[in-house]
Chain A
Amino acid sequence: MSSDVPVPIVDYLVLEPEPHLLAWVCVACGARFFDRRNGCASCGSSEFKRVQVSSTGHLRAFTVVHRAAPGIRVPFVSAIVETDDRTFVRSNLLVEHSDPAQIRLPMPVRLTTYAAGIDSRGTECAAFGYVPLERPDRPRAET
């Protein structure tokens, strides 16, 4: 049974209507988690609600990985992003180059998705990453 609908790489990635991430938020203290929690690591409370995470933020840390386990394409830029609503996310920075000198903290970024593979039934896997946020062009003087 093949499907035309891609599956997200992780359950906290939602593809429709616009790709975004979901986090579990502790109702008592606001701490945010991507995996299911029995209790809150920050305050111990056990009541959570699911919220949509902002798809824009800034780069908090990165590394360019050149050596990885077999089957993983290198180099890639691993990034820690802090979103505008203060959620920390680990993913890749999707840039054409692997030059650390061209990557500056706290570079503004936005979430994007792409096809990361196809399974034996023809179902596509959608992964997410971050790209540098293009700033709107400054108004240019007429020449």
Chain B
Amino acid sequence: MSESLWILGAAMTRFTRHANLDAVDLASEAVSGALADGEVGVRDIDVLACGSLFASAGSMGQQILKQVGQTGISVFNVANACATGATAVRTAALAIKAGEAEMALAVGVEKMGKAGLLTGRSRRKPAERVYEPAGRYGSVMPIDGILGTSTMPGVFAQSGMRYVHDNPDVGFEHFAKVAHKNHLHSTLNPLAQYRKAFSLEEIKNSPMVAYPNTLLMCCPTGDGAAAVVLVGGERLASLSASQRRRAVKVSASVQVTDPYTPGGAVMPDVNTLTANAADAAYEMAGVGPEDLDLVELHDCFATAELMHYDNLRLCEPGGGGEFIDSGAPGRDGSLPVNVSGGLISKGHPIGATGVANLFELTAHLRGEAGERQIGGAKVGLAHVIGLGSTCAVHILERSAA
């Protein structure tokens, strides 16, 4: 039997545009917060895993230790698209599972500023150009916008339109409802970026980005960090009663990549790997979707959230439209989804996201989520997906102690 895994401490910064704080400041704030929350110090930490999509090449983990305590421990700097934060958590978890660490820190951070919504290369005309085939497709010019789109809004819009085709009762209105719900949820979250409710009409009439996703159905760019202290069951047993009581069990920690599917090379299949990760996580935790009290899923775009209801088995196959219509994923519904505001309204500083959703679940499972608390929450699921592709699912449970 391998070591059980627990979250001892968790913290996040507010997600917003932090003009005067850099990534090192933000990550250090989250790390110090998570250590204090777990009632431990940096000298208790055996391993640090740091996720940042933009700053991993700059040894961000070591830069953080230089702010909070340069203890000389093993550090892993990881990057894995929008699943970067969850990958840091997985890395820290593996160190404990492998018996090399008793306590480990996972931190995710991103400083994005205003740039970075779109990944497509620009096609500004250079003064002098000669067509020469280059790259794996022998292209003579950047192809985005000529041979379709490979930007994230475009990819998730196309998948959403396929879901609409496969499930003809789903339409534009349903995607607007998803964004409406998440913006409403974030008004109760002091750490969210938007904190502003929008009417369905405002959402539908906001500028179109890639049909059917309008601007208010797309996650904003921003800055922020989140951190968790992970501890093995044996070490937890030696800690104080208050630490044991507030510890949250990680009953499943799964990360998968996209298996081959025909067409996946030209139209990323965001569904199969999500379903695979969810099924593996349910099996590992010994729980089913009916046992969940809340879900934080990767709503990078409204189309994505609707498809993931299906992929995570939260609704009947093809029933994403009916699920949002029924009010089930609202904070007063039968299975609240993204009560933090989700990526759409809480924000999506890429590296921080997969750690911040564990912070959110932890707060609810401890009964410490304040105004936005989901009463009596015992089991929660967190999901992230990064194009390329990778998907991580964690299932957390309230401590029985």
Contacts and interface: CB of A to CB of B under 8 A. Distances in A.
Q: Are chains A and B native binding partners rather than an unrelated pairing? A: yes
Nearest to A36: B136
Nearest to A114: B146
Nearest to B153: A67
Contacts of A125: 131, 140-141
Interface string A7-45: 111111000000000000000000111111000011000
A65 B267 contact: no
Contact of B131 (A36, A62, A80, A123): A123
Contacts of A131: none
Contacts of A11: 133, 137-139
Q: Which of B140, B159, B209 has the most CB of A within 10 A?
A: B140
A109 interface: no
A61 B159 contact: yes
Interface string B143-167: 1111111110110011111100100
B129 interface: yes
A131 B133 CA distance: 26
Nearest to A1: B130
Interface string A60-99: 1111111111111111101110100010111110000000
B211 A63 contact: yes
A120 B125 CA distance: 11
A120 B154 contact: no
Contact of B265 (A10, A33, A62, A64): A33
A100 interface: yes
Contacts of A35: 136-137, 265
Contacts of A61: 158-159, 161-162, 165, 267
Given A65-B154, A100-B212, A78 B148 contact: yes
Given A10-B139, A116-B141, A60 B267 contact: yes
Contacts of A91: 146-148
Interface stretch (B16-24, B100-108, B116-124, B318-326): B116-124
B284 interface: no
Interface in B67-106: none
Contact of A71 (B124, B133, B136): B124
B241 interface: no
B286 interface: no
B144 A69 contact: yes
A134 interface: no
A7 B131 contact: yes
Majority DSSP secondary structure for residues of B touching A: loop
B262 A80 contact: no
Given A65-B145, A71-B124, A80 B263 contact: yes
Chain A residues touching B, range: 35 or more
A72 B211 contact: no
Nearest to B134: A11
Interface string A93-125: 000000010000110000000001101110101
Contacts of A117: 141
A80 B158 contact: yes
Given A9-B139, A120-B128, A72 B145 contact: yes
A61 B39 CA distance: 51
A93 to B, nearest CB: 9
Nearest to B163: A61
Contacts of B158: 61-63, 78, 80
Most A-side CB within 10 Å, residue of B121, B137, B148, B161: B148
Given A9-B139, A125-B131, A66 B210 contact: yes
B210 A9 contact: no
Contact of B263 (A71, A73, A82, A106): A82
B122 A70 contact: yes
B210 A73 contact: no
A12 B222 CA distance: 39
B207 interface: yes
Contacts of B123: 69-72
Contacts of B137: 10-12, 34-35
B287 interface: no
B239 interface: no
A125 B147 CA distance: 13
B208 interface: yes
A72 B161 contact: no
Contact of B210 (A7, A12, A64, A129): A64
15 contacts: A10-B139, A10-B147, A35-B137, A60-B162, A61-B165, A62-B161, A64-B208, A65-B151, A72-B122, A88-B262, A88-B266, A92-B146, A100-B211, A125-B140, A128-B147
Of all A-B residue pairs in the complex, the 7 with the closest CB atoms, nearest first, are A11-B138, A72-B145, A88-B263, A63-B157, A71-B123, A90-B148, A69-B122
Interface of B: 117-118, 120-125, 128-131, 133, 136-141, 143-151, 153-154, 157-162, 165, 207-212, 260, 262-263, 265-267
Given A9-B141, A61-B267, A90-B267, 10 more contacts: A9-B140, A9-B147, A11-B137, A34-B265, A35-B137, A61-B165, A63-B212, A65-B151, A74-B145, A76-B145
